[in-house]
Amino acid sequence: MESGRKQTRVALIGNPNCGKTSLFNFITGLQQKVGNFPGVTVDIKSADTQLPDGSSVSWVDFPGLYNLYPTSRDEKMVVQSLLDTKDRFHPDLICYVADVTKLEKHLLLLHQLKDMDFPLVLVLNMIDLAQKEQLEIDAGLLSGKLNVPVVTVSGRSGEGIPDLFKEIGDQLSNNINARISDSGIYTFSEVEKNLTQQLASIFPSYSAYKRLLMAHHAQWLPFISASDRIHLLSILGENAFKSLPFQVREVTQRYHFFTPVVASVLKQKVKDGFTFSEKLDGLLTNRIFGLIVFLGILTFLFQSLYSWAEWPMTLIEEGFSSVGNYLATHLPSGWFTQFLTEGLIAGLGGILVFIPQIALLFFLISILEEIGYMSRAAFLFDRIMQIFGLNGRSMVALISGGACAIPAIMSTRTIASWKERLITILITPFISCSARIPVYTVLIGLVIPSRTVGYIFNLQGLAFLALYLSGIFAALLSGLLLKWWIKSDEPSFLLLELPDYKLPVWRNVGLTVWEKVRTFTLEAGKIILIISIALWFLANNGPKAAMADAGKEAKREAAERKLSAEEADNLTKAYLLETSYAGILGKTIEPVIRPLGFDWKIGIALLTSFAAREVFVGTMATIYSLGQNDDELTLRERLAVEKNPETGKPRYDLATGISLLLFYVFAMQCMSTLAVVKRETKSWKWPMIQFFGMTLIAYLSSFIAYQLLQ
C-alpha cells in the first residue's frame, strides 16, 4: 500500500443492476477515483473512507457479474481479482449487494463467494422499493439460514447505511483472516473430488472450491505460471474434465439449496397483470413507436446541446475576453503580458467554454443510463447491429461515444464476442464525441445562418444533427466492411437483463457529470494548454534574419500603401506570423491540404489537432489573437472577418467550412483514444488501421466536398 499501512479492502460485489454503484456513490461521494494502471486498463472505482468507529477502509466497486463463470472481459477481471490473492484489488471483506426484490436470482453468486471463504456481509439493497411493493423480508432468519450477517439498506436514500458501517466494523474487529475450509456448501461429484485432491499439489494454500475454480479457468487466468499451467492442464486432461457440464451441475445444486430458503424468508404479495415497466416497454420497445421515441430522444439530445448550452457558453466566452482585455490594458506591455493574454488566457478560454455542452451531454446520457433505457436501446437495435457486425450492446458504446470514445470503448468489455467487440471499438470514434462539439460550434456558427426552419428547428441545430448522422453513417459502413474482413468462428450471443425502470438517482448523475467534466478540464485541458503555449512560442519566434526581413518588408509596404498606424501594425504582425516557425510548419503542409480548401493557418490547427481535436479551437484562438488589436472580438467574430488574401472573400466560406467540418467528423484525431484501443486490443495493429483508415476517409470526403461546393 502507498501509505505503508495495511488498509482493509472492502469490495462491493453483486449482479448487474443490483444498485451497487448507487451504494458506492452514497458511501464515498466525491472521494472516489478511477484506477488506471499500466498494462491493463482498469476502470475499477475505489475510494478511501473512515468508518464511524475510526477504522479506515478502502472501498472497491467491481463490475457486476452473475456468477463465477465469466463470459465477458469485465467479469473475468472480477474473478481474477477474487482468485489471485496478490491482485491489487483482492478484497479482505466482501459486501455482497443484492436487490431484495430479486433476491432469489441474486443469491447464487453470494453462495459461491461463501464457498470461496471470503468474509461476507449480505447487503439487501432497495429496501425502500421492497416496502413500496409490499414485500416483507425476515432478515434475521435469512442471516441464520445462510450463516452470513445481513443488513438492509437503500442506496438511494441512504437508509440503513449506519448499520452497514457498524456490521463492517464488527467484522473487521473479529479476526477476518481467510479461513480455509474443505467443506463448502457445494457437494462435489466424484470427478470434482478427485480433481481437486490432485490439484492440491499445485495450489496447496487454496480451498477445494478455489482449486475447482482454478480448474474451470485454467485456460485464461493470467497469474498462473507457465509450468503450473502445463501441470494443471495435464491433470485436467487425465480426468477428462469438461467445464460446462460441471458449471451447470454446480449452479443447479446451489439453486436447490437456496430457493426454499428464499421462499421461507420472503413474503411477497402476488401481483396480477403487467408491471409498470412491462406496460411501458409495450410502447418503448414497440416496433414502430419504440423507434420513434428513440429518434425523438436523440433529436432532443442534440437540439438541447445547441439551445440550452448557448447562454452559459456566451457568458464564459465574454468573461475570458474581458479578463484578457483587462490584463492587456492594466499590465505593463511586454512579452509576459502578451504571453498571458494571447497564449495562456486564449488557450484556457478555448477549453472552458465547452464545459456547458460536455456537462449537458453527460447529464442526459447518464439519466438515460440511470432510468434503464440504455438496455432497451440495445434490445431494439440488436438485429440491425448484427448486420453491421455489431451487437445490441454496441448501441450503448455508440451512444456513450457521443460523449467520449474512451469510456465508450471501455464499455465494450461487456460484449462477449471478440469480433463484435473489436468492430465496436474500431468504429466508435466515428461517432461525434464532445471534443468535436467545440469545432462544430465555431464552424457552424460561421458558415450556417441561424434561422428557424419548419417553425421549430434551428438550422444550425439541424446542421449539427447532420454532422452526427454522417459520423454514424461512416461508423456503420465501416462496420459492414470490417465484418466482411475480420474472420471469426466464435459464437456470438445476446443475453441482456432488462432492469425495471427507475427514477434516476440524482447523486449518481451528478457524480458522473462531475467526473467527466473534471477529466475533460484536467486531462484534455492539460494537452490543450501545453499546445497553446507551445504554439504561442512558435508563432512569435522564427529564424532571426527572416523575421527581421519580414518586419522591414511590412514597414516598406505599409509606407508604400500609406496605411494608418493600426493597419501597418496588423500588416507587420501578419508578416511576422507567416515567417515564424508556426508559419513555416503550416506552409510546409499547405500543398497537401490546399485541395481541401485549407490554408496554412488551418494547417497549423490541423497538425496540433492530431493530439486532440479540441485543440483546434485553442490553436485558432492563439493564431488569430496574434494578428488583431481588438481584444473585444471573440474567436468566432475574428474568423468571420478573416479574408482570403487571393479572392478577397471570407476565408471561412461555405465550401471551406463544410470541408473542414467533414474532416473533423471522420479523422482520427485523439491520441488518448488510440492509446486505449492499443490497450484494449493488445496490439498496435488495430489502432494503426483505425488511424490511417479514418484519416484517409476524412481527407477524401473533405476533398470531394470542397471541390463540389467551391
Partner 1 sequence: MVKVHTNEKILSCAKVGVKGVVSYFKDEQVACRLISMGLVPGSTIEILHKAPFGGGWYVKSESLHIAMRNEEACSIVLR
The answer to the question of residue 499 lying near partner 1 (CB under 8 A) is yes
Minimum distance of partner 1 from residue 159's CB (angstroms): 22
All three cell numbers of 286: 414497440
The answer to the question of residue 238 lying near partner 1 (CB under 8 A) is no
DSSP letter at 372 equals T
> Position 670: which residue type?
C
Tell me the pairing of strands 8-14 and 56-61: parallel
Binding-site member from 120, 313, 378, 423 for partner 1 (CB under 8 A): 378
383 or 451: whose CB is closer to partner 1?
Answer: 383
Binding-site member from 327, 466, 498, 671 for partner 1 (CB under 8 A): 498
- Span near partner 1 by CB under 8 A; candidates 5-13, 153-161, 378-386, 576-584: 378-386
The answer to the question of residue 502 lying near partner 1 (CB under 8 A) is no
- In angstroms, the CA 122 to CA 96 distance is 5
- Span near partner 1 by CB under 8 A; candidates 21-29, 167-175, 377-385, 600-608: 377-385
- Chain Cα centroid distance, residue 114: 33
Which among 128, 107, 670 is positioned nearest to 408, based on CA atoms? 670
To which residue does cell 467527466 refer?
Answer: 516
The answer to the question of residue 66 lying near partner 1 (CB under 8 A) is yes
Which x/- pattern, by CB under 8 A, does the window 266-305 give for partner 1?
A: -----------xx--xx--xxxx-xx--------------
The answer to the question of residue 522 lying near partner 1 (CB under 8 A) is no
Minimum distance of partner 1 from residue 407's CB (angstroms): 23
- In angstroms, the CA 7 to CA 90 distance is 12
The answer to the question of residue 101 lying near partner 1 (CB under 8 A) is yes
Minimum distance of partner 1 from residue 378's CB (angstroms): 7
All three cell numbers of 424: 465496436
Q: How many CB atoms lie within 10 A of CB 400?
A: 27
- Span near partner 1 by CB under 8 A; candidates 117-125, 240-248, 465-473, 684-692: 240-248
To which residue does cell 486532440 refer?
Answer: 612
Which x/- pattern, by CB under 8 A, does the window 22-61 give for partner 1?
A: ----------------------------------------
Which among 626, 659, 233, 257 is positioned nearest to 446, based on CA atoms? 659
The answer to the question of residue 71 lying near partner 1 (CB under 8 A) is yes
Longest dimension (CA), the chain: 102
On the CB side of 55, CA atoms within 13 Å amount to 19
The answer to the question of residue 373 lying near partner 1 (CB under 8 A) is no
The answer to the question of residue 82 lying near partner 1 (CB under 8 A) is no
- In angstroms, the CA 100 to CA 129 distance is 9
Minimum distance of partner 1 from residue 258's CB (angstroms): 12
54 or 491: whose CB is closer to partner 1?
Answer: 491
Minimum distance of partner 1 from residue 40's CB (angstroms): 25
Which among 93, 153, 92, 94 is positioned nearest to 128, based on CA atoms? 153
State the first-to-last Cα distance of the chain, in angstroms, to the nearest integer.
Answer: 62
The answer to the question of residue 257 lying near partner 1 (CB under 8 A) is no
Minimum distance of partner 1 from residue 22's CB (angstroms): 19
Minimum distance of partner 1 from residue 286's CB (angstroms): 8
Tell me the pairing of strands 45-50 and 33-34: antiparallel
**33: three-class secondary structure by DSSP:** strand
Binding-site member from 245, 260, 543, 591 for partner 1 (CB under 8 A): 245
Minimum distance of partner 1 from residue 153's CB (angstroms): 20
Question: Vertex 174, ends 170 and 176: CA angle to 5°?
Answer: 110
Minimum distance of partner 1 from residue 381's CB (angstroms): 8
Q: How many CB atoms lie within 10 A of CB 357?
A: 22
Binding-site member from 90, 105, 231, 507 for partner 1 (CB under 8 A): 105
In DSSP notation, 135-173 reads EEE-HHHHHHHHTS-EEE--TTT-TTHHHHHHHHHHHHH
Minimum distance of partner 1 from residue 125's CB (angstroms): 15
- Span near partner 1 by CB under 8 A; candidates 62-70, 146-154, 175-183, 542-550: 62-70
Radius of gyration of the chain (CA): 30
- Span near partner 1 by CB under 8 A; candidates 178-186, 242-250, 295-303, 330-338: 242-250
Instruction: Give kind and range of the element (H or E) at residue 515.
Output: helix 506-519
**181: three-class secondary structure by DSSP:** coil
Q: Exposed (0-12), middle (13-18) or buried (19+): which is 228, by Cβ within 10 Å?
A: middle
278 or 566: whose CB is closer to partner 1?
Answer: 278
The answer to the question of residue 229 lying near partner 1 (CB under 8 A) is no
The answer to the question of residue 220 lying near partner 1 (CB under 8 A) is no
**Count of residues engaged in binding partner 1, rule: CB under 8 A:** 44
The answer to the question of residue 260 lying near partner 1 (CB under 8 A) is no
Minimum distance of partner 1 from residue 493's CB (angstroms): 6
Contacts of 687 (CB under 8 A, 6+ apart): 674, 675, 677, 678, 681
**223: three-class secondary structure by DSSP:** coil
The answer to the question of residue 494 lying near partner 1 (CB under 8 A) is yes
Q: Which residues of the shown chain bind partner 1 in the complex (CB under 8 A)?
A: 66-67, 69, 71, 101-102, 104-105, 108, 244-245, 247-248, 251-252, 255, 277-278, 281-282, 285-288, 290-291, 375, 378-384, 392, 491, 493-500
